[in-house]
Structure 1
Amino acid sequence: MDVNNMQDKAYREINHRILRSTYAPGDKISESLLEQDLNLGRTPVREALIRLRRDGLINIVPQSGTYVSKINLSEATNARFVRESVERKVMVEAAAVASESDISYLNDILDKQLAASKNSDHEMFFELDEKFHQYFYKMTNKMIVWNWLQVTNDQLLRFRWLRLKVVQLNWDNLIKEHQKICQAVGKHDPEEAERLSINHLHLMIDEESDVLEIFPNYFI
């Protein structure tokens, strides 16, 4: 594996562990810890940390060390606003172009997400959640827009991951909302698809206090 590939691997793995709170907000991390965890050398780890600092996912405190950044709730809220503003329009377009094969594919994702819920498989549930939403952008030839959104999505993704850890916030509610969105798109009902999309992405606002109560030290 060449140097660039090792650096990319280190970046992707540390990024993933931060987004999934394996390295939790506020945790102190070190190059030696990461080298051991990732089984990589100092140089790729160091370069990855430079990129992660640029992303706002780590802080380097002089004379103290390197820390996982706490979740910036304002950034997460603004990312949700942008996502909602864009996705509601994507859903309108999706309702106009959806085919039977599209709906079949989405229902397959939902079946797998239900199975992940029953197995309490956080990782798979979260990945399928992203896959579900991403597919509407693919349907409408808006994958470039999806990729743009990911650039500013880190704080929102961190919040959404923690949401899955809050026991009283039932995963079934997310699946039911996905099912309703899928049904509206399948029926070519743009107004209903847009309304449901707005309500779905408003969940962050509705559930914010529950997440903050469980993880009060994870946010700024």
Structure 2
Amino acid sequence: MMIVNQQEYAYREIRDRIMNLIYEPGVRISLKQIENDISVGRTPVREALIRLGREGVLETFPQRGTYISKIDLHSAINARYIREHIEQLVVMEATVKLTDDACERFEQIVRQQITFSKKKDHEHFFEKDEDFHRTFYEITDKLEIWDWLQILNTHLNRFRWLRLRVKELQWEKIISQHVNLLKAVSEGDVDEAKFLTSQHLHMMINEKQVLIDQFPDYFIDRSSVSFQMPEDLKLYEQFSEK
């Protein structure tokens, strides 16, 4: 395997573990631990950790080490705001571009979500949730925008994943909203599609206190905390060979 591919593999593996809360917010990690967990060498892992530090999902503190960052509510709320306004436009455009094949894809995704919901399969349910939304960007030729949003959505997606671990917040609510949204889009009802998109993406605002109450140690709100991201040099020093 080429070194560049190892670096990308290490980045994706570590990021997935952070996003899926295998590495929990606030937990300390080490270079050696990651090497053992994903069976990749020191250099690719170090480069991946530096990249993740720039994205704000890792924090390095002098004499203390490197930690998985807590879920930043301020960042998550801002990402939700941006996504809502962009996705409304994308979904409205989809009402005039939806094909029979695309409609079948949406229906298949919803059926799969129902299956994974019954099994309480967190990973695949979340994957299909992403597929549902991504398909709107695909059929409107906006996949590049979707990829841009994924960079901004880091803390929002961690929040969304955590939601699936809260027993009181039923997965069926997500499925029901997907079904209603797909119905509006397939019927070409632009106004209803816009409203339902906004309603669906407001779920985070409506439910955030439930998550905070259950997982208080997982969150931080940087709107009220003075914080300075570590310089790349500090990250290099932290993960450099002794």
**Could you state the TM-score of these two structures normalised by the residue count of structure 1?**
0.98
Counterpart in the other structure of 2:112 = 112
Figure out how many residues of one structure are paired with residues of the other and give that number.
220
Does 2:199 align with 1:199? yes
Distance in structure 2 (CA, Å) of the matches to 1:46 and 1:102? 41
* SS of aligned partner of 2:67: strand
Amino acid at match of 1:34: I
**For residue 189 of structure 2, what is the aligned residue in structure 1?**
189
For structure 1, which runs of at least 5 residues remain unmatched after alignment? Answer: none
Give the residue type in structure 2 aligned to 1:182. L
Partner AA of 1:166 in structure 2: V
Deviation at 1:5, TM superposition (A): 1.1
Give CA-to-partner distance per residue, 1:179-202, whole Å, 9 cap, x none: 000000111111111110000000
How far apart in 2 are the matches of 1:120 and 1:27? 25
Which residue of the partner structure matches residue 16 of structure 1? 16
What is aligned with 2:166? 166
More displaced stretch, 39-48 vs 115-124: 39-48
1:148 aligned to 2:144?
no
Aligned to 1:25: 25
Aligned to 2:124: 124
Letter in 2 for 1:72: D
The one-letter code sitting in structure 1 at the alignment partner of 2:166 is V
CA distance in 2, matches of 1:49, 1:100: 43
Aligned-partner Cα distance in 2 for 1:92–1:60: 42
**SS where residue 96 of structure 1 aligns?**
coil
Q: Is the 8 A contact 1:100 1:186 kept in 2?
A: no
> Letter of the aligned partner of 1:87 in structure 2?
E
What letter corresponds to residue 152 of structure 2 in structure 1?
Answer: T
Amino acid aligned to 2:174 = L
Provide Cα deviations, 1:96-130, integer angstroms capped at 9, x if missing partner: 22122221110000000100000000000000000
- The share of aligned pairs that are identical, in percent, is 47
Q: Distance in 1 between matches of 2:101 and 2:34?
A: 44
Partner SS state of residue 165, structure 1: coil
Indicate the residue corresponding to 2:45 in structure 1: 45
For residue 156 of structure 2, give the secondary structure of its aligned residue in structure 1.
helix
Q: State the distance in 1 between where 2:40 and 2:104 align.
A: 42
* 1-structure distance, mates of 2:188, 2:99: 10
Contact 1:166 1:211 in 2 (8 A): yes
Cα deviations by residue, 1:155-192 (Å, 9 ceiling, x for unpaired): 11000000111100000000000000000011111111
Q: Give the secondary-structure state (helix, strand or coil) at the position aligned to 1:67.
A: strand
CA RMSD of superposed structures (Å): 0.7
Segments of 4+ moved more than 6 angstroms: none
1: distance between equivalents of 2:127 and 2:208?
21
TM-score (norm 2): 0.89
Alpha-carbon separation, structure 2, partners of 1:47 and 1:211: 32
Give deviations 1:50-109, integer Å, cap 9, x for gaps.
111111111111111110001110000000000000011111111122122221110000
| Larger CA deviation: 93-102 vs 161-170 | 93-102
Residue identity opposite 2:24 in structure 1: A
Q: Distance in 2 between matches of 1:179 and 1:207?
A: 20
Deviation at 1:8, TM superposition (A): 1.1
**Hey, what's the Cα distance between the residues in 1 that align with 2:31 and 2:141?**
41
2:160 partner letter:
R
**Contact 1:177 1:200 (C-alpha < 8 Å) held by counterparts:** yes
Structure 1 counterpart SS, 2:24: coil
SS in 2 for 1:168: coil
Return the letter of the residue paired with 1:197.
T
